[in-house]
């Protein structure tokens, strides 16, 4: 496992199985899995949306249920 901090209140956790989880503050809100980029369908704050935009850098992720992100981040 590798942990990176690309910005204030932003954390990326890279797991050995290739899964990557993106946290805004303390909540998993997106990442990369075997099917590509994903983000939660739940609307968060303006700041979290800015974090997601910075993290994905122009890639359009598919939307998944917040439960999916929560389960991966558990």
Q: pLDDT digits over 30-54, tens only?
A: 999 999 999 999 888 899 999 999 9
In angstroms, the CA 45 to CA 52 distance is 11
74 pLDDT exceeds 80? no
Query: How much of the chain, in percent, has pLDDT values that exceed 70?
Result: 99
Expressed as residue numbers, the domain containing 26 is: 2-73
The answer to whether residues 41 and 49 touch, using CB atoms and an 8 Å cutoff, is no
Q: Identify the CA nearest to 11 among candidates 21, 73, 61.
A: 21
Q: How many domains does the chain have?
A: 1
pLDDT band at residue 73 under the 50/70/90 scheme: confident
């Amino acid at each position: 496992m590798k942990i990176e901090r690309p910005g204030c209140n932003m954390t990326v956790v890279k797991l050995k199985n290739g899964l990557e989880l993106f946290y805004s503050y303390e909540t998993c809100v997106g990442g990369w899995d075997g099917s590509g980029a994903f983000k939660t369908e739940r609307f968060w704050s303006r700041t979290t949306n800015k974090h997601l935009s910075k993290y994905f850098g122009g890639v359009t992720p598919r939307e998944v249920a917040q439960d999916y992100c929560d389960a991966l981040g558990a």
